Structure 1
Amino acid sequence: MKGLFFINFMVILSCFSVAAGVLYNYIVQGGQGKKIALLTACCSALGAGELYWYSHWFPGLTGGIRLMGLHIGALASVSWFLTFLLAFPVLAVLAAGIFFYRLKRRGRPVTPAENMTAGEHQGPSMSRRTFLKGMAAAVPVAAAATSGLGNVVGESYLAVTKLPLSFPDLPDYLEGYRIGQISDSHIGLFFSPEDLKTAMERLAAEKVNRLEITGDLIDELSRLPQCRQVLMEGAALFPDGIDFCYGNHEYYRGLADITDMLESTPIRIVRNSHFCASPGGGRNLSGRSGRDNRPLYIAGTDFSFAPSGRLHDEQRRDYTQTALQGIPEGAFTILLAHNSAFIDEGFAHHIPLTMCGHTHGAQFAPIGPLVQAVGFKYLRGLFQKDGCYGYVNRGTGHWLPFRVLCSREVTVYELQKKR
């Protein structure tokens, strides 16, 4: 979160915070609208300041109490903003309903029964107001609990998703072969190189033969040396190597610097290209042998920045065709692509397995259908067509830690012969 994006992000969240405070005051008829708006604005300014200074000082901090304190403060600030972002739509619906209810009451005469009730005591009116206050108070409380818990879970929990996949034409030497996937680690403010090391170790504990990283590896370039060290040390954990395809954030953050770092490690970059991992019979694969001479190929596509629609579809097809060109017919091929839209290309070319990321699974599961509706057909999880598979990793990391019913993950694919 840097530059113009950071400023816009803070302004938008601050506006939501103030608007949510005003809506709350309207619902409860507290008469303190200006004070609530001012208090909310001041707290939001403090939160924005904390996030700004955390991002500003972060490149020069490598550890210690100062970094820990700023990190905790940044998490608290994120929780503050997300509380109002979650509360706003609910408060808006409540406020709209109350507005029309009050408008309707204002336009009709008061009945004698209501006058009598009002003259005796204000029980029903006070009861209604008490109910509205309680309901309005429950909204920010629930939002704060969701925000806080979502940040804690997002920071601390990493799922290991195990997928046994059956293929009718699997070469015999790939029976039981395990491939790990890491995607969208976004090393930076809320995901450290040590977190990447943990993810790699979790996969190694599952006896993974090969690791695929499907883009958006690092956001904070000051962490390139530490990231390189983790990758250098982690390469020994995967006997058949580590492969990498680019995501959009490699371009946003510094493609040349990230590429230089990757090329100084044993990682193989596949960018609209492919390579032969085994010419057949299990050759070039650790501990593998067999009679089947069909080769294993790993292909990878670049990230497409073409506008959505026809241009994006055409560029996607071009990238995929370039990546697959020259792979012999009958080869068992695995396709790496950051954008999950490439699953369609994998199915069209009858690629047995396409691995993707990019979407983070929406992170907040309740908005999943909305995210799918705006253009992410393949949001998260496993998809299958005509014996081919496509999988969208939910993200091993994130640039904001908030997650609800959509935890971070590393994926383990175990290839099996369909019988």
Structure 2
Amino acid sequence: MLRWIILIIIILVIDYYAFQAIRTLTKNYIIYGVYWLASALVIGNFIYYYSNFVRGESFTSGHGYAIAFLFALFVPKLILILFMFGEDIVRGVLSLINKMSKSNPNNVAYSTSRRGFVSKIALGIAAIPLASILYGIYQGKYNYKVIKHVLHFEDLPEAFNGYTITQISDIHSGSLESKEKISYGIDLINEQNSDAILFTGDIVNTKAEEMNKWIDVFGKLKAKDGKYSVLGNHDYGYYAYGGDVDLNAENQRQIEAVHKSIGFDLLLNDNRQIEKNGQKINILGVENWGASRHFPKRGSLKEASKSIGENEFNILMSHDPSHFDFEEMELNKTDLNNHDIVTDETNVVNFNKHIHLTLSGHTHGMQFGIEVPSLGIKWSPVKYRYPKWAGMYEVAGKFLNVNRGFGYLAFPGRIGIWPEITVIELRKGSKTA
């Protein structure tokens, strides 16, 4: 209860201070009423969804929109506050100077005029994040982008020169809404006509049942050499059932059935071979393995590769990009609610068998950031948690692609970081050849 009281007090302080910009520009009490009514409705809706939220319930679209409306209302107000507070400081300094110099100490008209000008500028700038948030909620989350990479490998089997893979990740079906928009995304994936489709985890938010109404939609995915998948941290039921071993096990059984219904070949620390003209490449899939102590560590490269020879071509699906090159000192051997299986895992880069390409997801690019490829601009706050957070990376001749995700979680939208369909073409030879 105390945390709710503190939160409400903070929100009301923000609201009241931002309101001063409105009051400076108009004396219309109808506008005042609309301002406070909108705040009351948004705050009330947020409290409704989260005051009684308990672990074990699915995170619904209603919960997501409660967060979204709160952001849409208060991020612009925070910008207003910055401008108004800055203007208050300037006015206070000028007032102090006037009093000290005894020159024109009562220039109220000048102060009021300046206050009105600053309020107009602040409102105009605050409208930018408001528009961005609203766009992200209603259009940005469906603004699918096909991102293509061409990778060269000297040891790629000749038969696979020009081989294409489509990667998707982080469906988060419990957040999805429009079947029409999602079907468009599925059609866009199929239009790439890739040889194989690889899905790198988080098919749900919390429970397997979230995927039931989407099986027919995702079941339309097509690839001539098959569709392969792994689990992500959200696919184990921990967020719903905590440490209940039986409920977690049942949820995972249902998740595995969902993958099969869609036509995914789910790899649980296992591998498959794709053969062409007597040559082959290996597709490995590990269960979730993340360097953070908060996420399950069930993945085992040793188990997934135990039937693989030393000089074979390997593509790995591992949901969390921290698996790629984590530092040993980052590991915390304590488990998650005593049901996380901590392995003696090393990172992908240092693994004794060569993993040519690792495919991950997990970060979503935080669903917020700025990317302007033509100017070399690529930024999201998530980079401070995951240095490798989106796109293609290379370390010691090994590649990692971090997909920005197909769906969305918590905030029901995307701002600047759009949903991604990755197409990777494998080519034999050096890049300079």
Report the TM-score range of the alignment, normalised by the length of the smaller protein: 0.7 to 0.9
2:267 corresponds to: 270
Per-residue displacement from partner, 1:239-272 (whole Å, max 9, x unpaired)? 1111111111112354232122223453211122
Q: Would the aligned equivalents of 1:185 and 1:191 in 2 still touch at CA under 8 Å?
A: no
Q: Would the aligned equivalents of 1:362 and 1:368 in 2 still touch at CA under 8 Å?
A: no
Mapped partners of 1:146, 1:15: distance in 2: 27
Mapped partners of 2:317, 2:262: distance in 1: 19
Q: How many residues align?
A: 371
Higher mean C-alpha displacement, 166-175 vs 244-253? 244-253
Q: Would the aligned equivalents of 1:181 and 1:213 in 2 still touch at CA under 8 Å?
A: yes
| Pairwise CA RMSD | 3.8
Evaluate the alpha carbon distance shift between residue 11 and residue 171 of structure 1 in structure 2; reply closer, same or farther with a 3 A threshold: farther
Q: Would the aligned equivalents of 2:291 and 2:322 in 1 still touch at CA under 8 Å?
A: no
Question: Which of residues 42, 45, 51 is equivalent to 1:44?
Answer: 42
Q: Would the aligned equivalents of 1:181 and 1:214 in 2 still touch at CA under 8 Å?
A: yes
Mapped partners of 1:341, 1:378: distance in 2: 8
Q: CA deviation at 1:177?
A: 0.8
1:392 corresponds to: 402
1:187 corresponds to: 173
Kindly indicate whether residue 315 of structure 2 is the aligned counterpart of residue 334 of structure 1. Answer: yes
Q: CA deviation at 1:185?
A: 1.2
Q: Would the aligned equivalents of 1:17 and 1:40 in 2 still touch at CA under 8 Å?
A: no
- 3-state SS in 2 of match to 1:275: strand
Per-residue displacement from partner, 1:71-114 (whole Å, max 9, x unpaired)? 8x999766532223432543443354345445545655254432
Mapped partners of 1:85, 1:324: distance in 2: 50
Mapped partners of 1:15, 1:142: distance in 2: 26
Q: CA deviation at 1:360?
A: 0.7
The residue correspondences of 1:230-309 to structure 2 (distance < 5 A) are 230-234=217-221, 237-251=222-236, 252=239, 254-278=251-275, 282=276, 289=277, 293=279, 295-304=280-289, 307-308=292-293
- 3-state SS in 2 of match to 1:339: coil
1:66 corresponds to: none
Evaluate the alpha carbon distance shift between residue 126 and residue 49 of structure 1 in structure 2; reply closer, same or farther with a 3 A threshold: closer
Mapped partners of 1:380, 1:336: distance in 2: 15
Per-residue displacement from partner, 1:262-310 (whole Å, max 9, x unpaired)? 23453211122222233xxx1xxxxxx26xx4x31111122236645xx
2:348 corresponds to: 346
1:64 corresponds to: none
Q: TM-score, normalising length from structure 1?
A: 0.75
Per-residue displacement from partner, 1:206-243 (whole Å, max 9, x unpaired)? 21111101111123644433333334443xx2111111
Q: CA deviation at 1:193?
A: 5.7
- 3-state SS in 2 of match to 1:348: coil
Higher mean C-alpha displacement, 378-387 vs 89-98? 89-98
Give the partner amino acid of 1:403. Answer: R
Q: Would the aligned equivalents of 1:193 and 1:223 in 2 still touch at CA under 8 Å?
A: no
Question: Which of residues 86, 89, 113 is equivalent to 2:75?
Answer: 86
Q: Would the aligned equivalents of 1:357 and 1:395 in 2 still touch at CA under 8 Å?
A: yes
- 3-state SS in 2 of match to 1:346: coil
- 3-state SS in 2 of match to 1:212: strand
Q: Would the aligned equivalents of 1:188 and 1:218 in 2 still touch at CA under 8 Å?
A: yes
1:322 corresponds to: 303
Give the partner amino acid of 1:249. Answer: H
| Percent pairwise identity | 24
Kindly indicate whether residue 17 of structure 2 is the aligned counterpart of residue 23 of structure 1. Answer: yes
Mapped partners of 2:408, 2:5: distance in 1: 21
Mapped partners of 1:14, 1:155: distance in 2: 29
Kindly indicate whether residue 211 of structure 2 is the aligned counterpart of residue 211 of structure 1. Answer: no
1:198 corresponds to: 184
Mapped partners of 2:22, 2:261: distance in 1: 61
Q: Would the aligned equivalents of 1:17 and 1:81 in 2 still touch at CA under 8 Å?
A: no
Per-residue displacement from partner, 1:357-380 (whole Å, max 9, x unpaired)? 01111211159453222x211110
- Name structure 2 gaps, 5 residues minimum: 241-250, 326-346, 371-377
Q: TM-score, normalising length from structure 2?
A: 0.73
Mapped partners of 2:415, 2:8: distance in 1: 22
1:67 corresponds to: none
2:359 corresponds to: 355
Mapped partners of 1:149, 1:83: distance in 2: 11
Q: CA deviation at 1:149?
A: 1.7
Higher helix proportion (structure 1 or 2):
1
Q: Would the aligned equivalents of 1:333 and 1:353 in 2 still touch at CA under 8 Å?
A: yes
- 3-state SS in 2 of match to 1:255: helix
Question: Which of residues 144, 148, 153 is equivalent to 1:158?
Answer: 144
Evaluate the alpha carbon distance shift between residue 133 and residue 11 of structure 1 in structure 2; reply closer, same or farther with a 3 A threshold: same
Per-residue displacement from partner, 1:156-188 (whole Å, max 9, x unpaired)? 311111111111111111111111111111113
Kindly indicate whether residue 368 of structure 2 is the aligned counterpart of residue 364 of structure 1. Answer: yes
Higher mean C-alpha displacement, 198-207 vs 326-335? 198-207
Q: Would the aligned equivalents of 2:359 and 2:402 in 1 still touch at CA under 8 Å?
A: yes
Q: Would the aligned equivalents of 1:27 and 1:98 in 2 still touch at CA under 8 Å?
A: no
Q: Would the aligned equivalents of 1:14 and 1:41 in 2 still touch at CA under 8 Å?
A: no
